Each structure stands twice: as structure tokens, then as C-alpha cells.
């Protein structure tokens, strides 16, 4: 899951080297902390937040299969 987020985000940004994803797993929920380089925040969020929303929707569906909840935090 972490790899997938990293892969999608790296494909979209200008500075793929500065992309890191940290996974903080709890009992019922998983938090993904996504960090991107300066100026790349807009690329991850997308027009009207569409890209961020799409990524969140997909990881939510994946987590649902395991009966868990997820949060994706995006930090510049």
C-alpha cells in the first residue's frame, strides 16, 4: 500500500527524490504521512483536490477489504 502511494505520487511530482511515505499502523486504522518537496503540493492535490481525493478513495477501498480505516496526510 505504502509502495503504491509512493509510486503514484512520484509519477506526478517534479521532485520524486523528495517524496517519502511513512506508515503509522494502529489497531483499526492506518495513517499514511506523505511528504513532498517544495512546490509539489499542488500536483498531489490536483485541480479542485481531484488527485488527492482519488488517491484517498483508492486506499480507503483497499483498507476496507481488510476492515480498516485509513487517513492520508499530505505535508509539504
52 sits near other proteins (criterion: CB under 8 A): no
Stretch that binds other proteins, among 5-13, 22-30, 34-42 (CB under 8 A): 5-13
Stretch that binds other proteins, among 21-29, 32-40, 64-72 (CB under 8 A): 64-72
Selected binder of other proteins within 31, 58, 71, 74 (CB under 8 A): 58
64 sits near other proteins (criterion: CB under 8 A): yes
In the complex, least distance from residue 37 CB atom to other proteins, rounded to whole angstroms? 14
DSSP structure string for the chain = -HHHHHHHHHHHSS-GGG-EEEEEE-SSEEEEEEE--TT-HHHHH-GGGHHHHHHHHHHHHHHHHTT-EEEEEEE-
Amino acid at each position: 500500500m505504502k509502495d503504491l502511494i509512493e509510486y503514484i505520487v512520484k509519477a506526478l511530482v517534479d521532485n520524486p527524490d523528495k517524496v517519502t511515505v511513512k506508515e503509522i499502523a494502529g489497531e483499526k486504522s492506518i495513517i499514511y504521512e506523505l511528504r513532498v518537496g517544495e512546490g509539489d503540493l499542488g500536483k498531489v492535490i490536483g485541480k479542485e483536490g481531484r488527485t488527492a481525493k482519488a488517491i484517498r478513495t483508492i486506499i480507503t477501498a483497499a483498507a476496507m477489504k481488510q476492515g480498516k480505516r485509513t487517513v492520508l496526510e499530505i505535508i509539504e
